[in-house]
Amino acid sequence: MAEAITTAIEPPKRFRFDWILPVLLHPGATFRKIAEQTRGVWLTPMIVLTLATLARVLISGSIRQQAALSGAPVLPPDFQYYSPEQQAQFMQAAQATSGPVFIYIFPAILALLGVWVGWLLVGGLLHLVVTMFGGRGETSYSINLVAWAGLPFAIRELVRAGAMLATRQLIDAPGLSGFAPVDPSGTATYLAALLSLVDIYLIWHMLLLIIGVKLGNSLSLVKAASGVIITLGIVVGVEALLAYLVGKLGSLTIIRPFF
Amino acid sequence: MMGQVAVHALDGVDLEIAPNSFYVVMGPSGSGKSTLLHLIGGLDRPTSGSIRVGEQSIDSLDENELAVFRRKTVGFIFQSFNLIQSMTALENVAFPLRFARVRRGERRRLAFESLRRVGLEDRALHRPSELSGGQQQRVAIARSLINDPQLILADEPTGNLDTASGASIMQLLSELHQSGRTVLVVTHDARMTQVATRTVNLLDGKIVDGAAPVEAVEAAGVLAESTTGDETRQVMEARTDDQQAKA
């Protein structure tokens, strides 16, 4: 009896690395465990996601640095129209921004901001939408769920990092962007930005969210799927809009949430 | 703007260029020749007026559409060649294809073919600094041809070359014209008029034709001779009313 009481009041583990594979392989059973938690258990997946993102940033940074050292930075499409003076100025500017601050630190900060802010925004929005569909889950569950369901993005980051490491080339056409028109203009530019965000990992993430929302909110499959699709539709649509607008403004780096 | 004064690089220019013609635009420095070329090629935008190339009105295109227009329709040749010093001749010629989703092997094949057309296949792996001025301009011409454009725009293509190299570039441009392309050359080189189907004289941003304006151009230090070519079909129209180069 004394033993049973001791077990009941044992505080939950801070790190749940033992849930990583089960979330991906047996999401239903694992999400049930997550739903039973009374406190946040999001730290583990967020650490994994953070580390995977940092790995990708480090590898892409090393490729950029190598290109900068060899005098071959990433050139803009209209570079052939630059006069020799403009080309020299561009090269100087590229040299000035080829230090570790611009190649590693700023991209890492932006990527991590995207991961953490994106997680909170998606968690909050998902909870709102699911509640509107009649869900009765806690906010903390939505936050936990979005973190754990984000693990496919960690895999995506690792796959991209591995691909870049193997080819020593940056990935310039992610997702379904290959289906976009070769020379997008107007709304097609937005479509291209949207397609670049859609890949198998996003679909995997969506399926995990649907399973988790259904289990944790006692919703029908249709309502759970509708809530998740609406949430991700809004998030991806807004992110593509941001990418589109930034692309319109120039070749600036964008904050990329973890979708 | 030059201080408080608005300077009109082009003013009231109304020009139609027939397909498969060879136009030479002449005029003194500051007369608006390069501005005209940049407007037609979509590198600048007019503050007013319209520019039409074929069936396309390019003054209404956004930046992305202009980039596509330039890539598909226009081949540019510059006085200072604008070659990328860190790349070989082959890489320079293949550069525009990087952004057209052409595979690397195909890019190299097309670039080599383009270099062969200008007689520089044996210099494919040389960097610009290892080539003469004439050879660099040939590389630039090969690059301008890589997308098989119908319109070639050349801005002082012989300006930095010696007489012999200039003559060979002129010959090359003439061959491009004879192969069915429309060529528009801005130049101070009066020899270019020998291969042109028409010469247009610009002075202070305006087209001047006839005896008096030509005299005015000659007085400004430029020798020019105007010939009239066949303009049966309109393909390009650059009409600028009170036109000013974009800053």
Q: Count up the domains in chain B and report the number.
A: 1
pLDDT digits (tens, 9 = 90+) for A15-42: 888 899 999 999 999 999 888 887 888 9
On whether residue A143 sits in a domain, the answer given is yes
Structural domain span for residue B120: 13-240
Instruction: State the complex-level ipTM.
Output: 0.73
Residue in B2, B6, B78, B68 with CA at minimum distance from that of residue B37: B78
On whether residue A237 sits in a domain, the answer given is yes
On whether residue A68 sits in a domain, the answer given is yes
Residue in A59, A128, A67 with CA at minimum distance from that of residue A98: A67
Q: Count up the domains in chain A and report the number.
A: 1
B7 touches chain A (CB under 8 A): no
B103 touches chain A (CB under 8 A): no
CATH of the domain at B142: 3.40.50.300
Give the integer Cα–Cα distance in Å for A65 and B3: 42
On whether residue B129 sits in a domain, the answer given is yes
Task: Say which DSSP state A73 is in.
Answer: P
On whether residue B18 sits in a domain, the answer given is yes
Nearest Cβ partner for B99 among A77, A82, A84: A77
Structural domain span for residue A76: 19-249
B64 touches chain A (CB under 8 A): yes
pTM, to two decimals: 0.64
On whether residue A254 sits in a domain, the answer given is no
pLDDT digits (tens, 9 = 90+) for B125-176: 999 999 999 999 999 999 999 989 999 999 999 888 888 888 889 989 999 9
Q: Are A81 and B95 in contact (CB < 8 Å)?
A: no
On whether residue A4 sits in a domain, the answer given is no
Virtual torsion, Cα A85, B191, B228, B231, nearest 10 deg = -50
On whether residue A71 sits in a domain, the answer given is yes
On whether residue B179 sits in a domain, the answer given is yes
pLDDT digits (tens, 9 = 90+) for B85-138: 889 999 999 999 887 778 889 999 999 999 998 999 999 999 999 999 999 999
In chain B, which residue's Cα lies nearest the Cα of A190? B64
B60 touches chain A (CB under 8 A): no
Query: What is the DSSP code string of B53-65?
Result: ETTEEGGG--HHH
